[in-house]
């Protein structure tokens, strides 16, 4: 319902899940924090300027947006979301976090809405005076080096294992 992906759409997240080595995919299997038969969580390759450590949660099945997300899968995503929010809060020097999930690209807007057309929920750590809503636009994202991403992965894996 309300889908935008063309028939030949190249899905970055399905490629990551398949373990493909494609230059278009910045996320790597080593970015994955948690995975089971239904859902996967990983540290985002592109991060917001003042909110490092952003986590993405996706269903393993290709579902474009929330309109098509089966209720059982939604429940699994939100159960993991809660565990990750607690892990983020405990592992990072953050003071809270925020959940964001775009449905559909928004043409002509500064914040362009959904970029990858595979349902994804973002857990964004909040830091004191981060001015997140000033810097959360698309132009303020940066590619975090892989070794730095690994540090966040380790922190969260350790917390989830407790």
Residue 94 and residue 41 in contact, taking contact as beta carbons nearer than 8 Å: no
State the DSSP code for 105: B
Interaction between residue 118 and Zn ion (CB under 5 A) = yes
Select from 7-15, 22-30, 124-132, 141-149 the region that touches Zn ion (CB under 5 A): 7-15
Angle, in degrees to the nearest 10, between helices 71-91 and 146-161: 100
Between CA 137 and CA 110 the distance in angstroms is: 7
Select from 1-9, 82-90, 115-123, 150-158 the region that touches Zn ion (CB under 5 A): 115-123
Residue 84 and residue 90 in contact, taking contact as beta carbons nearer than 8 Å: no
Return the closest-CA partner of residue 10 out of 103, 138, 118: 118
Q: How far is the CB of 114 from Zn ion (least distance, A)?
A: 12
Fill in the per-residue mask, 8 to 37: x = in contact with Zn ion (CB under 5 A), - = not in contact.
---x-xx-----------------------
Interaction between residue 119 and Zn ion (CB under 5 A) = no
Interaction between residue 126 and Zn ion (CB under 5 A) = no
Q: How far is the CB of 118 from Zn ion (least distance, A)?
A: 3
Size of the site for Zn ion (CB under 5 A): 5
Fill in the per-residue mask, 50 to 89: x = in contact with Zn ion (CB under 5 A), - = not in contact.
------------x---------------------------
State how far the alpha carbon of 18 is from the alpha carbons of 2, 8, 73, 137, 147, in Å. 26, 17, 19, 29, 22
Shorter beta-carbon distance to Zn ion: residue 40 or 97: 40
Interaction between residue 141 and Zn ion (CB under 5 A) = no
Between CA 48 and CA 39 the distance in angstroms is: 23
Q: Which residues bind Zn ion (CB under 5 A)?
A: 11, 13-14, 62, 118
């Amino acid at each position: 319902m309300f889908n935008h992906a063309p028939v030949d759409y190249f899905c970055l997240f399905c490629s990551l899940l398949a373990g493909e080595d494609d230059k278009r995919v910045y996320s790597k299997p080593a970015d994955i924090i948690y995975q089971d038969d239904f859902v996967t969580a990983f540290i985002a390759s592109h991060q917001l300027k003042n909110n490092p450590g952003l986590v993405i949660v996706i269903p393993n099945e290709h579902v474009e947006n929330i309109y098509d997300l089966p209720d059982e899968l939604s429940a699994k995503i939100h159960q993991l979301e809660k565990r990750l929010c607690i892990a983020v809060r405990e592992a990072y020097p953050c003071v809270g976090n925020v959940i964001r999930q775009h449905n559909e690209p928004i043409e002509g807007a500064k914040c362009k809405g959904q970029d990858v057309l595979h349902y994804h929920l973002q857990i964004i750590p909040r830091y004191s005076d981060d001015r997140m809503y000033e810097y959360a636009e698309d132009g303020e994202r940066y590619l975090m080096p892989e070794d730095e991403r690994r540090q966040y992965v380790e922190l969260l894996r350790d917390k989830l294992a407790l």
